[in-house]
Amino acid sequence: MMQTRIGYGSTKAQVSLCYNQEVPRRFHRFFIIVIPDAWLLYHKVEIQVLWEEVYPCLMRYGHFYSFMTSDDRLSNHQVIINLRSMNNILSFDKVSGILVCEAGCILENLISFLDNEGFIMPLDLGAKGSCQIGGNVSTNAGGLRLIRYGSLHGSVLGLEAVLANGTVLDMLGTLRKDNTGYDLKHLFIGSEGSLGIVTKVSILTPPKLSSVNLAFLACKDYTSCQKLLSAAKTKLGEILSAFEFLDINAMDLVLKHLDGLRDPLPSSKHNFYILIETTGSTESHDKEKLEAFLLQSIESGLLTDGVLAQDINQASAFWRIREGIPEALMKAGAVYKYDLSLPPEKMYDLVEEMRGCLGAEANVVAYGHLGDGNLHLNISTRQYDDSILTKIEPFVYEWTSKHRGSISAEHGLGLMKANKIHYSKSLETVQLMADIKKLLDPNGILNPYKVLPTSVLPQRGEEEPKKEA
């Protein structure tokens, strides 16, 4: 039996304190929290205890609670591995812009470090003050500027991971080009800790450019939003760094529930709001280019109103509206959240159909990364109600599947959506994923019941599922 104390420098009291501070009451059935430093993860005996005793291990990077959703199918002897002590920046090359750090580094701390060096992180999230880079990589987090810098599959050059049996897999390369064999790091990017524990990351960071402009705009309908996106890609080209949208329901919710925020366009209400950010190297050129684009868009009828941020404080206030939507939703009451990828022309059709299904029973709120085809669909109600949920699911998944979308754009499947994976992936693809999982984690101790459905993964005491002929 594993001892109550595990890991270097952790006493029972320290573990108990961490447990009470960091785990919500509804998760208080877990056995222990482990806060490893590098010593633990390289001391194979400790990891092998978990392997040999078949203790379920649930990874935690910052406040990524999707990793640790409680489930009665799991035993009480569970371990949460929190990597917050592994928070060192190991190296930074100013010529190449390549950063190497440990997985427990808070994203906002990395952003601050790079800012002093004249660089930026290729991703930026509303949760940057609490999330850790290991969790960002493990969930393949997208963020606000994916339209400019792409996903972490392109930015992460290498990583180090600890497998379920304690093997340390060193893939911490810093090369832009390396075609020697299979690029195995991609297995761990977006696999939500189910294949291994990401402990170090090397990531390519772009230089910090001096010219940043932000516009808060209004459109009369969703078709205008789509046309504006197409025009922005053509007219703004290389300086376009973000294209976000929110509908009137999201705007009203933020203004109602968040203190200190004001409507940037107070003269009238608008059906849709757009944030366009540009980033370049020449302030006069970039601003002139953006202003000409906005003037043309107003003259053509794509925009009904808009304002350019005049300073960093106003820009921060604009971003606060967009990034504050999740907080406003939580303050409004119960919320059903869906993170979907869809063809941009279809995104808002789902929102309107959902409103038709629910009527006055719920407030259907839509916002997201229009430039990436990523819709954050949120159904806000006063309290959770099974009768409302039955109207939402499986409708939202079936609709997304019908239009060849993804039921998990950037937030991951976790426990709640693992058995829904077939809405986005074929049976053959899911079975191959299960084969990889069984190869790397045959005892199924890493984030069990997450990502993959139970239909393709045998659990302890169960027989191997039979493959269809």
Residues 121, 181, single domain; the answer is: yes
Contact of 418 with 452, CB cutoff 8 Å: yes
Q: Are residues 302 and 216 in the same domain?
A: yes
Q: What percent of the chain has pLDDT over 90?
A: 71
Residues 215, 234, single domain; the answer is yes
Report how far residue 247's alpha carbon sits from residue 396's, in angstroms, rounded to the nearest whole number: 19
Quick check: is 366 in a domain? yes
Q: What is the pLDDT of residues 248-299, one digit of tens each?
A: 999 999 999 999 999 999 999 999 999 999 999 999 999 999 999 999 999 9
Confirm whether 379 is domain-assigned.
yes
Q: Looking at the structure, do residues 200 and 93 belong to the same domain, yes or no?
A: yes
> For residue 463, which amino acid is it?
E
Indicate whether 55 and 102 sit together in one domain. no
As a whole number of angstroms, the distance between CA 82 and CA 278 comes to 37
Average pLDDT of the residues in 97-125: 95
Stated pTM of the model: 0.84
pLDDT tier for residue 66 given thresholds of 50, 70 and 90: very low
Give the integer Cα–Cα distance in Å for 15 and 34. Answer: 7
Cα gap 443→458, rounded to integer Å: 9
Q: Do 131 and 63 contact (CB within 8 A), yes or no?
A: yes
Q: Please, are residues 179 and 173 in contact by the beta-carbon 8 Å criterion?
A: no
Lowest mean pLDDT among 4-8, 46-50, 56-60: 4-8
CA gap 455, 440 in Å, rounded: 18
CA distance 39 to 356: 56
Give the Cα-Cα-Cα angle 230, 234, 237 (nearest 5 degrees).
120
CB 215 within 8 A of CB 290: yes
Per-residue burial over 450-468, b if 16 or more Cβ lie within 10 Å, else e, is bbbbeebbeeeeeeeeeee
Of 184, 172, 130, 179, the C-alpha closest to 440 is 184
Q: What is the CATH number of the domain that holds 96?
A: 3.30.465.10
- Residue 75 or residue 198, greater confidence: 198
Q: Is residue 453 part of a domain?
A: no
Q: Is residue 109 part of a domain?
A: yes
CA 255 – CA 22 distance, rounded (Å): 30
- Average pLDDT taken over every residue of the chain: 85
Answer yes or no: is 23 within a domain.
yes
Indicate if the pLDDT at residue 443 is higher than 70. Answer: yes
Mean pLDDT, residues 351-362: 96
Given 270, 304, 325, which residue is the final one in a domain? 325
For residue 124, name the pLDDT band (cuts at 50, 70, 90): confident
Tell how strand 156-162 and strand 89-93 pair up: unpaired
Note whether 352 and 396 are same-domain residues.
Answer: yes
Residue 282 lies in a domain: yes
What domain range includes position 289? 211-325
- Are both 75 and 96 inside the same structural domain? no
End residue of a domain, out of 388, 412, 436? 412
Q: Are residues 219 and 300 in the same domain?
A: yes
Residue 138 lies in a domain: yes
Task: Give the separation between CA 437 and CA 25, rounded to whole angstroms.
Answer: 31
**Total domains in the fold of the chain:** 4
Residue 167 has pLDDT above 50, yes or no: yes
pLDDT at position 359 over 50: yes
Instruction: Provide the pLDDT confidence category of residue 68 given band limits of 50, 70 and 90.
Output: very low
Per the model's pLDDT, the better-predicted residue between 203 and 126 turns out to be: 203
pLDDT at residue 26 in the model: 37
Radius of gyration for the alpha carbons in the chain, expressed in angstroms and rounded: 23
For residues 173 and 223, state if they share a domain.
no
Domain stops at, among 366, 394, 412: 412
In Å, what is the CA distance from 289 to each residue of 214, 229, 242, 315, 385?
13, 15, 15, 18, 49
- In terms of residues, how long is the chain? 469
Check whether residue 303 and residue 404 sit in a common domain.
no
Q: What is the mean pLDDT of residues 156-164?
A: 94
pLDDT value of residue 278: 97
Mean pLDDT lowest for which of 6-15, 73-82, 94-103, 259-268?
Answer: 6-15
21: CB partners within 8 A, 6+ apart: none
Q: Quick one: 217 and 309 in the same domain? A: yes
388 in any annotated domain: yes
Residue 162, phi then psi, degrees to nearest 5: -105, 125
Q: Within this chain, do residues 123 and 157 fall inside the same structural domain, yes or no? A: yes
Amino acid 34: pLDDT: 56
Can you give the pLDDT at residue 1?
29
Contact between 238 and 211 under an 8 Å Cβ cutoff? The reply is no
CATH number of the domain that residue 385 is part of: 3.30.70.2740
Q: Are 455 and 202 in contact (CB under 8 A)?
A: no
List all residues 6 or more positions away from 27 whose beta carbon is below 8 Å from its beta carbon.
65, 68, 70
